[in-house]
Amino acid sequence: MAVIETKGLTKHYGTGRFPPRHRHETVRALHELTVSVEEGEIFGFLGPNGAGKTTMIRLLLGLIHPTSGSARVLGHDIVDGSIAIRAATGYLPGGIVLYDTLTGEQMLDYLGRLYGRPTSLRADVADRLEMSARTLKRPVRDYSRGMRQKIGIIQALQHDPDLAILDEPTEGLDPLMQRAFYDLLDERRKAGRTCFFSSHVLSEVERLCDRVAIIRAGEMVALSNVPELLARRKRHVEMRLAGEPPALHGVTGVTNIVVRPGHLSCELEGDVRPFLAAIYSAAITDLTIEPARLEEAFLEYYADEDAAELAAAAHLVGAAQ
């Protein structure tokens, strides 16, 4: 069952202004996004700042209204059923702001009561994130950035939501707490809960997510599961040689072969078996095959100049309309 399903979801800012602005000021934040997130999935939404990640999240929660297209979350339309969506969703906004005059506990009580559901997971999540009862009794104004982020995570998960929508969830967390948070998400996945989160920390997306969508200037440029995305990546190979280099020209998946005395480097893509067969009898003293990283896959969509120009051009809709 699809927990999130969007069809041609589009959001332009700057339309319907009074007085009307110049047409070039219409910003295309999201353009015809069609994506489906399945139950029990951890779905990563990737993109640099301003790509449209937060716009997507706010559309799903009914905080902003789509210009065109449609979306359903947990079976409810985002325009007509946003209350029902929010009742079953936990949300962590990026750079969460809390009421400074309240204690952490009061803050969690208030936000929990607004759901009208028992906060059955609060104690467990707080414990995992090392937010003791004593700490929760301190005013939020005394909290560090990391502690505020922990409160943000607890408030998003404390009522055991069917869907957690998390915007940059590990921002401000130290590595230990990041790991605790990853474990939490893993457990939620095992419990069949769905998580949709945006991030630009590619290592955590790679570690956590079942599938990722990469968004650029409001348009989705890739949607794939992580292993597939990585499998398509070229791995960099370095080898030290005690004799003649192996004959790699023409071997399937091997490109960019550079041979220097006692050394060979190349790029390897796809199935590794032809490559291994080709180097089997070579006198190799050392071999390094760098694992494919999501970062490289991500950068590919942003690195080339054409893409950058496209992104800049697509940012402003005006001329085309």
Partner 1 sequence: MSATVFRHVLRQQRMRLLVVVAALTGWGTLMPIVYATFGVQMQDIVRQFPALQQFMRFGGGDLFTLSGSIAVGYIHPIAIALLAVFAIAFPLSGVAGERQRGTLEIVLARPVSRRSYYVTLLVAAILFIGLSVAATLIGTVIAAAAVNVLDQLKLENMTLLWLNGVLLYFAIAAIAFAASVSFDRMGPAAGVALAIVLVAYTLEIIGSLWPDAEWLQPYSLFHYLQPDLVLREGLQLFDTALLLVVGGAAVIYALIVFPRRDLAAPT
Chain residues binding partner 1 by CB under 8 A are 13, 54-55, 58, 61, 63-65, 83-84, 86-87, 89, 91, 93-99, 101, 110-111, 113-116, 155
- Distance of closest approach, residue 259 Cβ to partner 1, in angstroms: 52
In the complex, the smallest distance separating the C-beta of residue 189 from partner 1, rounded to whole angstroms, is 22
Decide whether 111 or 226 has the Cβ nearer to partner 1: 111
CB of 296 to partner 1, least distance (A): 29
Q: Which residues, in sequence order, are CB contacts of 192 under 8 Å at separation 6+?
A: 39, 40
Token pair belonging to 297: 């896959």
Q: How far is the CB of 37 from partner 1 (least distance, A)?
A: 18
78 — phi, psi (to 5°)?
Answer: -70, -20
Cα–Cα distances in angstroms (integers) from residue 240 to residues 220, 225, 237, 288, in the given order: 41, 34, 10, 9
C-beta of 249 vs 315, nearer to partner 1: 315
Residue 284 class from Cβ within 10 Å (0-12 exposed, 13-18 middle, 19+ buried)? Answer: middle
> Closest by alpha carbon to 74, among 54, 52, 90?
90
Is the alpha carbon torsion for 140, 141, 143, 147 positive or negative?
positive
Cβ proximity to partner 1: between 107 and 237 the closer is: 107
Residues with Cβ within 8 Å of residue 133, at least 6 apart in sequence: 105
**Closest distance between partner 1 and the C-beta of residue 64, in Å?**
4
* Between 172 and 246, CB nearer to partner 1: 172
User: With respect to partner 1, which residue has the nearer C-beta, 64 or 202?
Assistant: 64
